[in-house]
Structure 1
Amino acid sequence: MSLQEKTSDVQGSWIPLSQYFDYICDFFHLDRNLKTNAARQKYHDGWMEKYQKSISAWTDYDVAIWSVRARQSLKLCFSSTYFALESQRARKQGVMASAYYLGYYSVLHAMWSVIYLDPQQTTKNVYDITHSKILNLFHSDYAHGNNSVLGYNAKKIVGNLRFLREYYSYRMPLNSPLDQDHELAMAFASLGGFVKHCIQLAHLQSQLLMKSAMRKKKASASLPLEQLPTFADEFFAINGKEREMTQERLLDPADEFALHESMSKGCDIMAHSLAFDHMFDDFMTCLGGTNPGEEIISETRRLVGAALYPRK
């Protein structure tokens, strides 16, 4: 940090990232990682340029697909939080294979929520991505250590969590030879913080996306009838999974409703804080006997909301 930057911030002109947007938002952890006004402005301006360059070439179909990508990013914020909570519950119960499995997929979904909003990645590249590619992209662009927007070394944390998951999945020990390994323990202990920072980052990228789209007047779109089948297929590729034995295309009821609404009423690109209430209502409200319990559902909703909105 230069003397000029230090002096500027100390003299009361601290400018948080939230000041760049018109809607209520909070990026407390990211503000602290980007330590100066100049660093925060550089991050904002650099990504605005990337988004606007991409958006300039968008058609209405691209607007529609990006609305789905933004929605999927928010879904992944919810799933990563839910997995982290279930991982903690499994650990308390001594079910370590489940704890490590859920812990790894929690951070994977958290990183994926950010990658879904990367304007440099095609939609197919994002939904058809490998675990290693998610980590490499995320580490390179957002979390390589000091002075990055995330203050974590993603490769170190995620690599250790992946090792724990794979060890218990493929070489299940008769006892646990890992209990005394400090680095592995620290990776697991970092789970909640890493996920929260990723959610704030996904929210930041969604605000940048919406701001850029609105500036280019490409934040809303309706599709003609001839494009609806292609849109439905790509929506399914992002949200669903085909059952290979029966070739049945399975979608969550909330996703089926979102698809119908997008095709019949049009699509809007929304930042996560604006789409949160809708996702809050959809999260685990269509379950039958598989409901994990109101306590963990409520805590998932609370933690995602706490990462998006200003602290009270």
Structure 2
Amino acid sequence: MFFVEINPYSIGNISILSRNLSDNQMEQYYQRWIKHYNRVFKEEDSFQIVEWRIREWKAIKEMYASSILFCEAQKSYKYNCEASFFFSLYYSLFHAQLSCLCFDSSISLDELNKITHQKLGGIFENNFSSGKNSISQSKIPENFVALRKLREYYSYTLPLNSFGFNNELIELIKNQLTECFQITCIHSLFFERAFSKHGELLKIDNVDLMEHMDVKFRETLTRPLVGQDNIEPADRNVLMEIFQYGIGFQYIPLQLDHTFDELRTYSRFDTSEEDALAESEIYSFIFQSIM
């Protein structure tokens, strides 16, 4: 299996992707994308490499956002909370697709930060689920549109009698999120391979580069309502690590334990209530999907 052969590590779940593509298709897919990623390190300057590091962290955060919302959708289903059920399912799929787009060389970081829902679905379809790029074959674009309609209907014209509120929909979205997570991770492996061959550790050692890193990081991750310069502690720790150690790129499954250390570490969540959403559930879904 081609994706397994190019993976030097003993971790990484590609169970869905291996069903979607033959060995030959995997190799062709890899060759198309590795050309783009090689070009990043051969032709782009340090300021653009900085933005790719932000994109890598954003891809990881989007996976966590997707998992959080999916787990919340499961809780909503259990307690018959229909409006929050469709809201959470829709946005879980939104963030899962966005995690894939973080490694899409056809879209810039600035465009990622301002992307609309309609454009996101279109780009995902063009680059991951159509033609020669059909690494995704679970009809995510069509289901994304259907979920958006359900989310809008349950938000603005809430019915007195439910429809579409069932466990089958949860299972469908679970499989599609898993597929997205695996796409994100395999692309992170491609990117690491390009970096290993053509890149080198980038130290943030001048004022202009440091300012660019700080500005773009905050533009991408600033929290609302608490000041334009405010980022959450998890983001601040990543930023400080970059300033201290420099920029390199690593297969996302290798980073999973480290990123889990940042999950709700600085917030007080009461998980003593029966059935309260626990951090372990959020992490477990990602772990099962990609490890």
Q: Deviations over 1:214-241 (max 9, x none)?
A: 1112454434123222211100122223
Residues 62-100 of structure 1 show CA distances to partners (whole Å, capped at 9, x for unaligned) of 222211211110111111112111101101100010011
- Report what 2:56 is aligned to: 70
TM-score by length of 2: 0.90
TM-score (norm 1): 0.85
Q: 1:208 aligns with which of 176, 179, 190?
A: 190
Cα distance in 1 between the residues matched to 2:70 and 2:262: 19
The one of 179, 183, 198 aligned to 2:180: 198
* Equivalent pairs, count: 288
1:47 aligns with 2:33: yes
What is the correspondence of 1:39-118 to structure 2 with a 5 Å cutoff? 39-118=25-104
Of 5, 12, 17 in structure 1, the residue corresponding to residue 3 of structure 2 is 17
Structure of greater Rg:
1
Aligned to 2:16: 29
Structure 2's unaligned 5+ residue stretches are none
Which whole-Å CA distance do the structure 1 matches of 2:261 and 2:126 have between them? 35
**Partner Cα separation in structure 2 for residue 205 and residue 171 of structure 1:** 40
Distance, in Å, in 1 between the alignment partners of 2:168 and 2:132 is 18
Gaps of 5+ in 1: 1-14
Q: Tell me the equivalent position of 2:126.
A: 140
292-301 vs 198-207, which moves further? 292-301
| Residue 287, structure 1, aligned to residue 287, structure 2 | no
Residue in structure 1 matched with residue 150 of structure 2 by the alignment: 164
CA distance in 2, matches of 1:201, 1:277: 19
Mapped to 2, the partners of 1:90 and 1:40 lie a distance apart of 38
Structure 1 residues 136, 22: CA separation in 2 closer, same or farther (over 3 Å shift)? Answer: same
Looking at structure 2, the residues matched to 242 and 70 of structure 1 have their Cα atoms a distance apart, in angstroms, of 22
Relative to structure 1, the CA distance from residue 231 to residue 144 in structure 2 (aligned partners, 3 Å threshold; closer, same or farther) is same
- 1:272-291 deviation per Cα after TM superposition (whole angstroms, max 9, x unaligned): 01211211111111112476
CA RMSD of aligned residues (A): 2.4
Aligned twin of 1:5: none
1:121-153 CA-partner distances (Å, limit 9, x unpaired): 111011111111111011111124998211211
CA 1:47–1:248 in 2, change beyond 3 Å: closer, same or farther?
Answer: closer
What percent identity do the matched residue pairs reach?
Answer: 22
Give the whole-Å Cα distance in 2 for the aligned partners of 1:290 and 1:161: 30
CA distance in 2, matches of 1:223, 1:307: 37
> Are residues 146 and 55 of structure 1, via their aligned partners in 2, closer, same or farther at CA, if it must alter by over 3 Å?
closer
Task: Give, in whole Å, the separation in 1 of the partners of 2:145 and 2:216.
Answer: 31
Distance 1:219 1:129, change over 3 A: farther
- Residue 236 (1) aligns with residue 218 (2): yes
**Matched-pair contact (CA < 8 Å) for 1:100–1:165:** yes
- CA, structure 1 residues 203+260, in 2 after alignment: closer, same or farther (shift >3 Å)? same
**For structure 1, which segment, 136-145 or 107-116, has the greater mean C-alpha deviation from structure 2 after superposition?**
136-145
Question: Cα 1:217–1:249, aligned 2, differ >3 Å: closer, same or farther?
Answer: closer
Contact 2:182-2:289 at 8 Å conserved across structures: yes
C-alpha distance in 1, partners of 2:31/2:272? 42
Does the 8 Å contact 1:90/1:98 carry over to 2? yes
Secondary structure (helix, strand or coil) at the match of 1:26 reads coil
